Amino acid sequence: MIYLIVEYLIEILIASILAGIIGALGGLGGGVLIVPFLTLYFHVPISLAIGASIVSVIATSSGSAAAYVRDKISNIRIGTFLVLFTTTGAILGAFIEHVTPVKVLFFIFGVVLIISVIPMLKKIGEEVPNVEKNDPLAEKLGLYGEYYDSVLKREVKYKVTGVKPGAAMMFMAGTISGLLGIGSGAFKVLAMDFAMRLPIKVSTTTSNFMIGVTAAASAGIYFFTGDVNPFIAAPVAMGVLIGAIIGTKILVRIRSSSVRKIFAVIILIVGLEMILRGAGVI
Amino acid sequence: MIDNNSKDQKLLTEEGISSKILTIYLIWSVIISLGIITFGTILFIITGKSGYNMGNLNSLITAKGSLSTYPFYIQSIWNGVLTLKPFAIIQLGVLILLLTPFGRMLLQFFIFIYEKDTIFAIIALVVFVILMFSLYMVNVLEMLHIA
């Protein structure tokens, strides 16, 4: 019996490493594929899959945040201000998860997966958007900033607009994170990009800072309601972290655009599978 | 001009210190928590025992936390760790991992205070309170009998 159990543990570990690699190469966190993998192929109940996934999100974001702290591109003030909204949303999301029927969760997950593919296919975000004037709130809080762009080889100063719609979108991103146990980095970047018009480099690095804090707001709820099963959470946390490290190493060596498209297709298929499961077809 | 430069330099080193503290904190939290999780997992594989009632594979992967399956309260985790129960050890590692961002916000609060940035010190503190409030939500869910 124990051989069977150990074999299963190793299978989850390998699947998590794969999810971590695909996540890193696709520019999404490893978390997005963990829940589908665990539920569709390992027959883990979705609540436990979400509990394991949110823990792995904290592992990878803390690991990579350590690298981003030094680069000075991420805007800690914007991040700190916006996690006010993502954490509140995450608590709501975790609450909703506990009262939502399983089939509906599958369906929402599938839809979110398909939406997250959009930024992978279409390059979003201007390198340096031209914002004329700071939002009054951004002015007051001093959210604007500057960073050294190693590609453009100059200091880039930027202004910040649309703080209120940005905050509202962050609340939504937080809710999705808490509801589905994912980092929802794609949605955070979209909010900073569309609403607040931040340079794309600032959006992505700042979102990384926010993901871990946001995930912690719902992870506590999943953990203390008994939804973090150590038999599943342990191989998932280790696997996704290992996968993310490998994925990041591969990423610097290959040209990402065509590879991204391949992974976008994978995520699209998995998203469809989740929707079909939600609809009760499979 | 010279004055300006030295001021910039001072700012840079101050920033350097706080980002160094944050980096060390984040890296070591991940190393320690993942180390504990790995240790618990290896112990589980070697002994073939979780320290709790495992049942068959199917009950193992569908089990929610309870007195018989795996601990999820601090006291019961700690009791299990003291008696070297593999699942309790894994849970300790997971708990440290998930509390890492809590500590991170607290650190950020002190960094803002150190930088004399009162508004953002307050914002960081509020975020920390929201995180603590999330733990209180567990009681709410239990009261509503949905957890």
Q: How far is A33 from chain B (nearest CA, A)?
A: 18
Of A62, A226, A235, the CB nearest to B26: A62
For residue B12, pLDDT over 60 is answered with: no
Show residues of chain B in contact with A229, CB under 8 Å. Answer: 61, 63-65, 69-70
Q: Is residue A124 very low, low, confident or very high in pLDDT (cuts 50, 70, 90)?
A: low
List C-alpha distances in Å: B57 to A1, A203, A231, A275, B46: 8, 43, 10, 27, 17
Cα dihedral A137/A139/A140/A143 (nearest 10): 90
Cα distance between residue A263 and residue A258, in whole Å: 9
For residue A25, pLDDT over 90 is answered with: no
Q: How far is B82 from chain A (nearest CA, A)?
A: 17
pLDDT at A27: 67
Q: Is residue B146 very low, low, confident or very high in pLDDT (cuts 50, 70, 90)?
A: low
Mean pLDDT, range A249-273, rounded to an integer: 78
pLDDT at A253: 72
Cα distance between residue A192 and residue A205, in whole Å: 11
Q: What are the backbone angles phi and psi of residue A147, rounded to the nearest 5°?
A: -150, 165
pLDDT at A84: 97
Q: Is residue B3 very low, low, confident or very high in pLDDT (cuts 50, 70, 90)?
A: very low
pLDDT at B96: 97
Q: Report chain B's mean pLDDT, rounded to a whole number.
A: 88
Q: Is residue A106 very low, low, confident or very high in pLDDT (cuts 50, 70, 90)?
A: very high
Size of interface A-B (CB pairs under 8 A): 190
Q: Within 13 Å, how many C-alpha atoms sit on residue A67's CB side?
A: 8
Q: Which residue of B has its CA nearest to A6?
A: B45
Mean pLDDT, range B93-116, rounded to an integer: 95
Q: What are the backbone angles phi and psi of residue A214, rounded to the nearest 5°?
A: -60, -45
For residue B9, pLDDT over 70 is answered with: no
Show residues of chain A in contact with B105, CB under 8 Å. Answer: 83, 213
Q: Which of A157-166, A197-206, B67-76 has the lowest mean pLDDT?
A: A197-206
Taking an 8 Å cut-off on Cβ atoms, the answer to whether A62 and B87 are in contact is no
pLDDT tens per residue across span B35-45: 999 999 999 99
Taking an 8 Å cut-off on Cβ atoms, the answer to whether A213 and B19 are in contact is no
Residue in the structure block whose two tokens are 């709790």: B52
pLDDT tens per residue across span B54-91: 888 899 999 999 989 999 999 999 999 999 999 999 99
Taking an 8 Å cut-off on Cβ atoms, the answer to whether A227 and B65 are in contact is yes
Q: Which of B100, B36, B106 is nearest to A61 (CA)?
A: B100
List C-alpha distances in Å: A189 to A79, A201, A211: 11, 10, 11
Q: Which of A118-122, A172-176, A211-215 has the lowest mean pLDDT?
A: A118-122
pLDDT at B8: 47
For residue A169, pLDDT over 90 is answered with: yes
Q: Which of A21-35, A72-86, A174-188, B11-25 has the lowest mean pLDDT?
A: B11-25
Q: How far is A264 from chain B (nearest CA, A)?
A: 29
CA B1 to chain centre: 46
For residue B99, pLDDT over 90 is answered with: yes
Q: Report chain A's mean pLDDT, rounded to a whole number.
A: 88
List C-alpha distances in Å: B36 to A214, A259, B31, B64, B84: 23, 35, 9, 21, 12
Other Cβ atoms within 10 Å of A98 Cβ, number? 17
Q: Is residue B5 very low, low, confident or very high in pLDDT (cuts 50, 70, 90)?
A: very low
pLDDT at A132: 78
Report ipTM (2 d.p.).
0.91
